[in-house]
Chain A
């Protein structure tokens, strides 16, 4: 089931009666989730990603805009009529019911034609319990289970109605580090096996990148970039996206373009032919440094952290926006630890230049253009299902023409 969000805006009225300030949680959000894909909504807290998820679920109503499931306009439909499964951040399992009763609960609500016999219901529960590998725990209460198991019960409860869309709100945030790794693989597996269109919300970029087919990076209610995780990582459109993705984070330097050349401090880093002079930020991924005695960028060496496969070099630079510059280099790189400075060459594909005022990317010759949002919007516009109203409008326009 394709899920399409069109110009979705959500404005919350002010909670404080004195100030009339309204909060725009989601601003003109347009995006299409392709059928059968796993999509991660990614952003820092307060960026509107959960609100977006709740609007898809129907628990929140958009202030304006439309939501389509396939060809159906579901904007006005209540949650139970949308055919969604929703997994809450803290699972919201009913503590007084066993796992079986919890999973049965949505089925027992079905009415009319959809109503199942008791045997059918139990079969469905067994089926879905098998999918999430909980068969032997069906008679336990939620509080007798680990966080990861509870998470799987919540997913089973969401899946048992055979929803058209599965929504997960911060599915891994309540789990410890080890379980998180395990559970995210689990979510991926379940999604693959069921082929159900899945949207999940997370603030953890690693989590989003590792399992999503596509990620949507949001900031303050506005989509920043959309694309496959690697694509977004390799080709950020602005400073925010470049900083948000990647651990360790990207190193940012104050730089400038002057006379067709890119400088950090007094050192010339790269040619910038055809670019007008301006102040810029230069972002360099930690893995974008190559130790080279004749390198272009000189940093003050602080320490070295050995990680086995790689070596992480901590240094600083007067023009760096962060207190330290961290690079990750091959453990075979040879350099003098006693030296005061270290020189690097920069891998061009790991360096991004941003306009200092707008924080938008400045593309250089040879840069691959990212799968940009505008391009993406153009693409989906052509396949938007038309509502009768719009169709009528267009007819009128055609008539006028």
Chain B
């Protein structure tokens, strides 16, 4: 036990961390709650001497905004679509990677590359790939528009090109592009975690299964997935948390308009809504939306934990 004489030393050593946490984590949390419960709070007006009443007016306003509900809808769709797809894909890739010997390290690196690549840059590449006017050839006077590589591939196989992200594209086409992009972006981290989990599974379980003549599919379903369930639960929970905070990926593909030029803001997400509110000096509204987002993530995580309690085996 540290003697009381030395207590001040302990506090001294902890001080830098404590000060930083207080300033950048604890105070903002408290302040967010305060702002959320002051009707129509605005920082700028408060400096000007305005007084705000305590109440839940911000929350009522936020949930009545059609824009907020649209953001909630887009975020939820992206979340519900991407988390299962990316988890299943990551599982299959991890299992495949784990079962090969040649090139394993090389492929592992390849699959990990997206993780260390700037997501805005990736977004721009994806935007180019899904573009309907991908690249321009010819001279200044004679522009020949070609489709992006995805449309080229579709046309190569005899399909008609799709307007994925340009002016006139549909909401669901936009969502499709976002899902592909988010899944691709989410894979490396999940593969890394699942591969680590796979490599820590005792090989004897597989030997035992082999002696009993278990088919590959059954090994995956009955042995690998259950034994990997703690990692799967982790990946799903962090996936949902990350999914509800989706924002940069939209910017990456659509830019700050958060949608095609003729439907700007169509793909806005919850975090985008909060950001916009802050930018227009409506901190009360932003705080209320942030708390709602926090509540949603909390509930989803609790549900996840509850489910995994039944499904995670040890």
Contacts and interface: CB of A to CB of B under 8 A. Distances in A.
Interface of A: 57-59, 78-81, 84-86, 88, 90, 92, 94-97, 105-106, 108-111, 143, 157, 161
A98 to B, nearest CB: 11
A92 B205 contact: yes
A282 to B, nearest CB: 45
Nearest to B202: A92
Contacts of A110: 213
Contacts of A90: 202, 204
B64 interface: no
Interface stretch (B177-185, B219-227, B291-299): B219-227
Nearest to B212: A106
Given A90-B204, A92-B202, A59 B314 contact: no
A105 B210 contact: no
Q: Assign chain B's interface to a size class.
A: 20 to 34
B264 interface: no
A105 B213 CA distance: 10
B207 A59 contact: yes
Contact of B226 (A78, A96, A143): A96
B210 A143 contact: no
Given A88-B208, A90-B204, A92-B208, A109 B213 contact: yes
B211 A59 contact: yes
Contact of A80 (B202, B211, B227): B211
Contacts of B5: none
B227 A96 contact: yes
Contact of B314 (A85, A86, A95, A108): A95
Contacts of B204: 88, 90, 92
Contacts of A58: 211
Contacts of A108: 218
Contacts of A80: 210-213
Contacts of A84: 211
Contacts of A86: 207-208, 211
Interface centre among B205, B207, B211, B213 (most CB of A within 10 A): B211
A199 to B, nearest CB: 14
Given A105-B222, A109-B218, A143-B314, A94 B205 contact: yes
Nearest to A89: B204
Nearest to B215: A109
Nearest to B213: A80
Contacts of B218: 108-109
Interface in B169-226: 202, 204-205, 207-215, 218, 222-223, 226
Contacts of A95: 227, 313-314
Contacts of B223: 94
Interface string B298-314: 00000000000000011
Given A80-B211, A92-B205, A92-B207, 14 more contacts: A58-B211, A81-B213, A86-B208, A88-B204, A88-B208, A92-B202, A92-B208, A94-B222, A94-B223, A96-B226, A97-B226, A106-B213, A109-B214, A143-B314
